[in-house]
């Protein structure tokens, strides 16, 4: 397999000799802290002059749109190249979106059938002479995203997936009983297949891969696991690099890196979450997604963690402390210079929460606490920003607790600074965190945090009673009590917010973050060079 070289869009600079690769299974526009942290890390190395790539391994026909949108929003440095395995194997020469989004022609797609809009979704069912024949899913700008085809018994027979320009990119033929894939074919823009994958019903995974050239000839074949394709592709990508630095940023990429046979590479395991599973106590089992990396720490040159407390706990229980390095996050305001000069007035009756809406985050605790707050202070408001699997349940809870006039679900925000800046305070009720980027962002915007006492992160950031509050885990009453206290004492809350901003500036600056990253990476490069010599 041949991997091509690319020129980064935008301003170029003199590149340092080591290439930096961040392995992420996927990236998208509306994502939470992990993706945000990955983009910031990669952007930092690009700023420092390293040739930097984010490597994604999932298939997404909308990647051209996603990459362009991330660049337009300023979420990633212009010198960071986001490379995707499927696009690379296909032979795409330019990852930018060349054409405008092409809206789907529903009438043509219905082919004489009747269209039935699916409630709550940008999708339509097609019924032809009474038979349910197609399900049409639309994407951004009402582009055609997918078509599911059904037989007369309403079993799905196949799914077709399209890119923003309306080109067929993947067809998945499904098992009539399980609705899982049987065979998946990937196409280039000319309709030629460049890869096929067979799905094993017994193994419940793809276990046979064929790669084709433009003549339709088989160039490579992998059996047993699609992981072999990922490792072979990555190995080929880095083969000519001088001591490339490869960082596994997501747990789904850990096995790719531990199985990579490339002695010249510097490998780093970057852990963004708690290493233990529920209930996240010292005697809890290892988290399933972390287990592979934890059991293969000998395969990594470095283990990068977010807090000193996690380093201490992991080294005490699993050794390898000499490989562990601590680098938290940093915050850089999205405001312009002129915006920073403008004074921001706090809304003394408004709190805000920015979070992924999942069971892990326990946003329902915040809503329940706010019911107690509103009982005493009926004019206060809470804005909740975020998306996730618990969104509908949270909306129902707000209605059940009769809080619709006080608590608002505000959707995903692309600008957390703006959401935080005029709020009086925020709250964190997660079961666990790796660091909590939301706490950092809130404090940087002079907004104090009331947090449950959890591992890891809040105790590294919040000085209880000075720049925020730490309350007992799961104690909704204590959470409500501190909320009421800050609403009733806004001058104290504003003072705490200023203390919070100073704390972040002193301890989590971009300058300090950059120095740690570069020093630790250069140390590992020097170690590798000594071993090789």
As given in the structure block, the two tokens for residue 108 are: 């043509």
Site of tokens 């997936």? 161
Same domain, 290 and 351: no
Query: 157 and 28, same structural domain?
Result: no
| Euclidean distance between CA atoms 494 and 273, whole angstroms | 30
Q: Answer yes or no: is 513 within a domain.
A: no
Query: Does 533 reside within a domain?
Result: no
Scan for tokens 């001088």, then name that residue.
Answer: 242
Range of the domain at 356: 337-508
> b or e along 220-241 (b: 16 or more beta carbons within 10 Å of the residue's beta carbon)?
bebeebbebbbbbbbbebbeeb
Q: Is residue 3 domain-resident?
A: no
Q: What is the pLDDT of residue 2?
A: 39
On whether both 221 and 130 belong to a single domain, the answer is: yes
Q: Which of 489, 439, 491 is nearest to 468 (CA)?
A: 439
Asked if 190 and 112 sit in the same domain, the reply is yes
Omega of the bond prior to 456 within 30 degrees of 0, cis? yes
Domain boundary among 225, 244, 265: 225
- Interval 92-134: pLDDT, tens: 876 555 567 889 999 999 999 999 999 999 999 999 999 999 9
* Residue showing tokens 């919040």: 462
Do 453 and 304 belong together in one domain? Answer: no
Q: Three-state DSSP class for 173? A: strand
Look at residue 33 and tell me if it is in a domain: yes
Beta strands, E only, 73-229: 80-84, 114-117, 123-128, 131-138, 144-150, 156-162, 168-174, 181-187, 193-200, 205-212, 218-223
Q: How many structural domains comprise the chain?
A: 3
477 phi-psi bin (left φ>0, alpha ψ -120 to 50, beta other)? alpha
pLDDT mean by block of 10 residues, the chain; 533 residues: 35 63 94 85 93 97 91 92 96 66 94 95 97 97 97 97 94 95 96 97 94 97 95 97 95 97 96 93 94 96 96 94 94 64 86 97 98 98 97 98 98 93 98 94 97 96 98 98 99 98 94 93 89 74
Q: How far apart are CA 500 and CA 167, in angstroms?
A: 50
What pLDDT score does 139 carry?
94
pTM reported for the whole predicted model: 0.88
Strand duo 302-305 + 324-326: pairing: parallel
Residue 310's pLDDT is what? 95
Q: Scanning the structure block, which residue is given the tokens 């592979």?
A: 292
User: What is the Cα Rg of the chain in Å?
Assistant: 25
Which pLDDT score, from 0 to 100, does residue 3 have? 39
Q: Among 480, 460, 458, which Cα is nearest to 470's?
A: 458
Say how many residues make up the chain.
Answer: 533
363 lies in some domain: yes
User: Which of 326, 353, 379 is a domain's end point?
Assistant: 326
In whole angstroms, give the CA distance from residue 205 to residue 361: 30
Residues 215 and 241 in one domain: no
Tell me which residue of 400, 348, 358, 347 sits closest to 33, measured CA to CA. 358
pLDDT in tens, 298-343: 999 999 999 999 999 999 999 999 999 999 999 887 665 456 656 7
Q: How far is CA 336 from CA 62, 416, 437, in A?
A: 30, 14, 21
Strand order in the sheet with 407-409: 350-354, 381-385, 407-409
Are the C-beta atoms of 52 and 80 separated by less than 8 Å? yes
Q: Looking at the structure, do residues 360 and 495 belong to the same domain, yes or no?
A: yes
CATH of the domain at 485: 3.40.50.2000
Secondary structure letter of residue 103 according to DSSP? B
Residue 185 maps to which CATH number?
3.90.930.1
User: Which of 85, 83, 95, 25 lies closest to 54 in space, CA to CA?
Assistant: 83
**Contact 82/94 with Cβ under 8 angstroms?**
no
Q: Are residues 131 and 200 in the same domain?
A: yes
DSSP 8-class letter at 351: E
Contact 134, 113 (CB under 8 A): yes
Helix (H) or strand (E) holding 476: helix 476-488
Residue ending a domain, choose from 186, 203, 225: 225
pLDDT of residue 17: 67
Q: 514 lies in a domain? A: no
Q: Are residues 110 and 190 in the same domain?
A: yes
Same domain, 280 and 382: no
- Residue 243 phi/psi, 5° resolution? 45, 60
In a shared domain, residues 221 and 112? yes
Q: How much is the pLDDT for 7?
A: 30
Question: Using CA of residue 95, residue 99, residue 103, residue 105, what is the dihedral sign?
Answer: negative
Residue 420 lies in a domain: yes
Helix, strand and coil content of the chain, in percent to the nearest 5, comes to 35, 25, 40
User: Based on the domain organization, do 437 and 377 belong to the same domain?
Assistant: yes
> Does some domain include residue 429?
yes
Q: Which of 419, 417, 397, 393 is nearest to 407 (CA)?
A: 397
- Cis geometry, peptide bond prior to residue 166 (ω within 30 degrees of 0): no
């Amino acid at each position: 397999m041949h991997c091509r070289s690319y020129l980064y869009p935008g301003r170029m600079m003199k590149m340092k000799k080591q290439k930096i690769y961040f392995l992420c299974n996927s990236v998208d526009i509306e994502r939470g802290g992990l993706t945000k942290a990955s983009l910031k890390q990669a952007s930092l190395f690009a700023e420092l002059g390293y040739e930097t790539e984010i490597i994604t391994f999932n298939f997404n026909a909308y990647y051209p749109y996603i990459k362009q949108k991330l660049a337009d929003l300023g979420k990633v440095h212009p010198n960071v190249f986001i490379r995707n395995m499927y696009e690379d194997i296909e032979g795409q020469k330019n990852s930018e979106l060349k054409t405008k989004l092409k809206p789907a022609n529903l009438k043509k797609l219905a082919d004489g059938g009747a269209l039935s809009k699916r409630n709550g979704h940008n999708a339509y069912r097609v019924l032809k002479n009474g038979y349910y024949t197609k399900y049409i899913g639309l994407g951004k700008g009402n582009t055609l995203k997918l078509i599911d085809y059904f037989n007369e018994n309403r079993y799905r027979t196949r799914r077709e997936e399209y890119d923003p320009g309306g080109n067929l990119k993947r067809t998945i033929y499904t098992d009539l009983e399980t609705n899982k894939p049987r065979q998946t074919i990937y196409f280039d823009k000319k309709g030629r297949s460049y890869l096929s994958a067979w799905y094993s019903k017994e193994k419940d995974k793809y276990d046979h891969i064929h790669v084709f050239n433009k003549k339709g000839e088989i160039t490579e074949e992998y059996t047993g696991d699609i992981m072999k394709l990922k490792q072979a592709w990555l190995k080929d990508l880095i083969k000519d690099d001088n001591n490339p630095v490869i960082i596994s940023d997501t747990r789904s990429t850990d096995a790719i890196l531990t199985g990579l046979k490339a002695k010249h590479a510097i490998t780093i395991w970057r852990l963004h979450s708690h290493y233990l599973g529920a209930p996240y106590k010292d005697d809890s089992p290892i988290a399933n997604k972390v287990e592979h990396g934890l059991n293969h720490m000998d395969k990594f040159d470095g283990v990068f963690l977010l807090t000193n407390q996690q380093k201490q706990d992991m080294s005490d229980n699993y050794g390898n402390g000499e490989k562990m390095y601590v680098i938290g996050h940093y915050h850089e305001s999205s405001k312009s210079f002129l915006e920073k000069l403008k004074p921001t007035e706090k809304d003394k009756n408004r709190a805000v929460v920015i979070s992924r809406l999942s069971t892990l985050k326990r946003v329902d605790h915040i809503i329940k606490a706010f019911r107690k707050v509103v009982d005493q202070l009926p004019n206060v408001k809470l804005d909740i920003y975020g998306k996730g699997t618990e969104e509908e349940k949270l909306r129902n809870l707000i209605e059940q607790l009769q809080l619709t006039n006080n608590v608002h679900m505000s959707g995903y925000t692309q600008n957390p600074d703006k959401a935080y800046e005029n709020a009086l305070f925020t709250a964190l009720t997660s079961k666990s965190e790796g660091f909590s980027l939301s706490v950092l962002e809130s404090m940087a915007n002079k907004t104090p945090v009331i947090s449950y006492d959890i591992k890891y992160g809040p105790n590294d950031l919040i000085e209880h009673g000075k720049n925020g509050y730490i309350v007992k885990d799961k104690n909704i009453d204590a959470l409500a009590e501190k909320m009421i206290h800050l609403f009733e004492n806004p001058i104290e809350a504003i003072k705490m917010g200023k203390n919070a901003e100073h704390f972040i500036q002193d301890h989590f600056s971009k300058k300090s973050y950059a120095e740690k990253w570069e020093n630790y990476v250069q140390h590992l490069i020097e170690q590798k060079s000594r071993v090789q010599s």
